[in-house]
Amino acid sequence: MSLTSQLVSLIRRKPVTREDLDRSALLALDALACAYAGSATPVGAVLRRWAGGGDLDRKRAAFLMGAMTHITETDDLHRASVTHPGCVVVPAVLAQGAALDASPERQLTAMLHGFEAMCRIGAAVGPAHYRVWHNTATCGPFGSAMAAATLLGLDDAAAVDALGNAGTQASGLWQFIETGAMSKHLHAGRACESGLLAAELAQAGFTGPPEILEGGKGFFVGLCPDPEPERILADADAPWQLLQTSIKPWPSCRHTHPLIDCALELHALLDGGQVESVRVATYRAALDVCDRATPQSQYEAKFSLQHCAAIALIDGEVALDSFDGASRARVADLAARVEVVAEEPFTSRYPVSWGAELSVKTVAGAAFKVLRRNCRGDPELALDADEMRAKALGLLDYGGLDPAAAARLCDAVLALPDASEAPDLHADFVAQTLE
- 149-200: pLDDT as tens digits: 999 999 999 999 999 999 999 999 999 998 989 999 999 999 999 999 999 9
Instruction: State whether 93 and 230 are in the same domain.
Output: yes
Domain limits for position 340: 254-375
Task: Give the pLDDT band of residue 270 (cuts 50, 70, 90).
Answer: confident
pTM of the model: 0.95
Res 3: pLDDT = 98
**334 and 415 within one domain:** no
More confident residue, 115 or 363: 115
46 pLDDT band, cuts 50/70/90, is very high
Which of 346, 375, 404 is at the close of a domain?
375
Q: Mean per-residue pLDDT for 273-285?
A: 93
Residues 10 and 59 in one domain: yes
CA distance 235 to 374: 22
One domain for residues 169 and 313 = no
The CA radius of gyration of the chain, in Å to the nearest whole number, is: 21
CATH number of the CATH domain containing 283: 3.30.1330.120
Q: 104-123 and 3-13 helices cross at what angle (nearest 10)?
A: 140
Q: How far apart are alpha carbons 172 and 175 in whole angstroms?
A: 9
Asked whether residue 324 falls in the same domain as residue 413, the answer is: no
Residue 53, pLDDT > 90, answer no
pLDDT tens digits, 288-341: 999 999 999 998 999 999 999 999 999 999 999 999 999 999 999 999 999 999
Q: What is the CATH number of the domain that holds 168?
A: 1.10.4100.10
pLDDT for residue 435: 79
User: 363 and 409 share a domain?
Assistant: no
Q: From CA 375, how far away is CA 66, in angstroms rounded?
A: 26
Predicted pLDDT of residue 45 = 97
314: left (phi over 0), alpha (psi -120 to 50) or beta: alpha
The tally of CA atoms less than 13 A away on the side-chain side of residue 246 is 29
Q: Give the rounded percent of residues in the chain with a pLDDT score beyond 70.
A: 100
- Give the confidence band of 28 by pLDDT, cuts at 50, 70, 90: very high
Mean pLDDT taken over the chain: 96
**What span, in angstroms and rounded, lies between the C-alpha atoms of 306 and 14?**
42
- Do 299 and 238 lie in one domain? The reply is no
Q: How far out from the chain centre does Cα 252 lie?
A: 11
* Final residue in a domain of this structure, among 375, 397, 414: 375
Which residues does 393 contact at the CB level (< 8 Å), separation at least 6? 33, 403, 406, 407, 410
Other CB atoms within 10 Å distance of the CB of residue 421? 10
Task: Give Cβ neighbours of residue 110 (< 8 Å, ≥ 6 apart).
Answer: 93, 96, 97, 102, 147, 148, 150, 151
Residues 29 and 69 in one domain: yes
**371 in Cβ contact with 10 (< 8 Å):** no
Q: What residues contact 87, with CB distance under 8 A and at least 6 apart?
A: 31, 34, 66, 69, 70, 75, 76, 136, 188, 192
Q: What is the number of domains present in the chain?
A: 2
Is the same domain home to 193 and 292?
A: no
pLDDT at 54 exceeding the cut of 90: no
Q: pLDDT, tens digit, for every residue of 385-412?
A: 999 999 999 999 999 999 999 999 999 9
Same domain, 147 and 172: yes
Residue where a domain terminates, one of 342, 375, 408:
375
Task: Mark whether 209 and 321 lie in a shared domain.
Answer: no
- pLDDT of 313: 96
Does position 271 have pLDDT exceeding 80, yes or no?
no
In this prediction, residues 249-265 reach a mean pLDDT of 96
351 and 420 assigned to the same domain: no
Is residue 274 predicted with pLDDT exceeding 90? no
Summarised one tens digit per residue, pLDDT across range 338-380 is 999 999 999 999 999 999 999 999 998 999 999 999 999 999 9
